Amino acid sequence: MTSEAYEAIIKYNLERVEFMAVTNQKIIDVNKAISLAGDSIWANESGPVNVSKIKYEFGFAWDDDGEYDNSINVWVEHDRPWEIYTDTDFPKIISKLIGHDVDWSEQGMQEHGLAHLEA
């Protein structure tokens, strides 16, 4: 294993530990292909998207007053570009997987391989 690969693994594990320590966050290993509707306004991306992991949290670490305790932030690791953003089936399936209704957040929160949803 190269030193770069080893450092990447360490960085990933540290980020995961930090992520879990902030608030009441959950991680689901999915490793499944889910279908897209193909109706994104950004691209005609239809067919399956491979979802590897879902990370989600209730509330925000900075919310000392508990004003946003019912908010949900969801990060979905996948194998597609950010242009799947606005696909109508993607948030429905993620909602079923986590047991909470969520929808796309703002465009600026989307990355290649990482979708952000919220409620």
Sketch the domain layout of the chain as residue ranges: 24-118
**pLDDT value, residue 21:** 47
Is the pTM higher than 0.85? The answer reads: no
- What is the distance between the alpha carbons of residues 63 and 66, in angstroms, rounded to a whole number? 6
Residue 26 Ramachandran class (φ > 0 left, ψ -120 to 50 alpha, else beta): beta
**What element of type H or E holds 46?**
strand 46-58
pLDDT in tens, 4-35: 765 665 555 555 545 444 557 899 999 999 99
pLDDT in tens, 75-113: 999 999 999 999 999 999 999 999 999 999 999 999 999
Burial tier of 23 (Cβ tally within 10 Å: 0-12, 13-18, 19+): middle
Q: What is the mean pLDDT of the chain?
A: 86
pLDDT in tens, 33-55: 999 999 999 988 788 999 999 99
